[in-house]
């Protein structure tokens, strides 16, 4: 079983809609959780971090963590074409980082 699993997509949403990205992790000992955005040909960029159960909002982004169900999600409100990228979920456990394979998001104008 992989440490971190994501649906590879592609996920397509129309401009202005909410994009919902999901991630599950296998080890309950995981301590902190991150979402990265990676544009084609570029390195990953940290967009959200979340450490406790519940929601964390930053602008158009909301990260949600449910430790009991071992899932993390990222909501992007009012999606823009510039949000088109691959989104990587990452989990930190015992000072080791584990990355999902990423979900490709396309926002259609």
Site residues (vs other proteins, CB under 8 A): 32, 34, 36, 41-46, 49, 88, 90, 92, 97, 99-102
| Residue 34 beta carbon to other proteins: minimum distance, rounded to whole angstroms | 6
| Residue 100 beta carbon to other proteins: minimum distance, rounded to whole angstroms | 7
Distance in angstroms (rounded) separating the CA atoms of residues 97 and 73: 17
Residue 86: name the closest of 10, 1, 4 by CA.
10
Query: Is 42 or 77 the residue whose CB approaches other proteins more closely?
Result: 42
Query: Is 23 or 100 the residue whose CB approaches other proteins more closely?
Result: 100
Query: Is 25 or 36 the residue whose CB approaches other proteins more closely?
Result: 36
Query: Is 34 or 83 the residue whose CB approaches other proteins more closely?
Result: 34
- Phi, psi for residue 56 in degrees, rounded to 5: -135, 125
| Residue 17 beta carbon to other proteins: minimum distance, rounded to whole angstroms | 25
Cβ neighbours for 52, distance < 8 A, ≥ 6 positions apart: 65
Cβ neighbours for 84, distance < 8 A, ≥ 6 positions apart: 105, 106, 107
């Amino acid at each position: 079983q992989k440490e971190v699993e994501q649906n590879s997509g592609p996920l397509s949403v129309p401009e202005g809609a909410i994009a919902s990205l999901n991630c599950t992790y296998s080890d309950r000992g995981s301590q902190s959780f991150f979402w990265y955005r990676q544009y084609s040909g570029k390195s990953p960029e940290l967009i959200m971090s979340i450490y406790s159960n519940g929601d964390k909002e930053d602008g158009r982004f909301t990260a949600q963590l449910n430790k009991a169900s071992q899932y993390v999600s990222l909501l992007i409100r009012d999606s823009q074409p510039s949000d088109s990228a691959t989104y990587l979920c990452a989990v930190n456990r015992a000072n080791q980082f584990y990355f999902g394979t990423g979900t490709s998001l396309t926002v259609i104008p």
